[in-house]
């Protein structure tokens, strides 16, 4: 080969080396994840907190409903007992009537002695 061809060949070789040196080598680009680990942890904690508060809210609602039902049942029992008490008071008044007591005493053979009678008022 002639000297001129070697020089051209060397220049071509140098230019390709310069291009390779000047061109940045392909550096692998690290892609950033759309969600970081910290954000994932925060998201999981938020979801857990939301679920826990929802469960607590539902549990409180159920407890309130059950307490309300129990109160209603107790009020019905109190009302029924009040009616029973009122009926028994009417029956006591009927049975403690003076004429009835006097008739029952006569049936049993008791007599009225005015010296032994004491008046008691209600």
pTM of the predicted model, to two decimals?
0.50
Q: What pLDDT, in 10s, does the model give residues 30-76? A: 777 688 999 999 999 999 999 999 999 999 999 999 999 999 999 99
CB 35 within 8 A of CB 43: yes
Give the model's confidence band at 83: pLDDT under 50 very low, under 70 low, under 90 confident, else very high.
very high
DSSP string, 18-82: HHHHHSPP-PPPPPPPSS-HHHHHHHHHHHHHHHHHHHHHHHHHHHHHHHHHHHHHHHHHHHHHH
String of b and e for 3-15 (b: at least 16 CB within 10 Å)? eeeeeeeeeeeee
């Amino acid at each position: 080969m002639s000297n001129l061809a070697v020089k051209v060949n060397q220049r071509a070789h140098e230019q390709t080396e310069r291009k390779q040196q000047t061109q940045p080598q392909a550096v692998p680009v690290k892609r950033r994840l759309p969600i970081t680990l910290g954000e994932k942890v925060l998201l999981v904690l938020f979801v857990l907190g939301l679920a826990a508060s929802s469960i607590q809210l539902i549990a409180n609602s159920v407890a309130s409903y059950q307490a309300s039902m129990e109160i209603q049942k107790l009020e019905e029992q109190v009302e029924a007992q009040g009616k029973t008490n009122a009926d028994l008071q009417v029956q006591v008044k009927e049975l403690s009537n003076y004429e009835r007591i006097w008739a029952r005493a006569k049936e049993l053979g008791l007599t009225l002695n005015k010296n032994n009678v004491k008046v008691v008022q209600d």
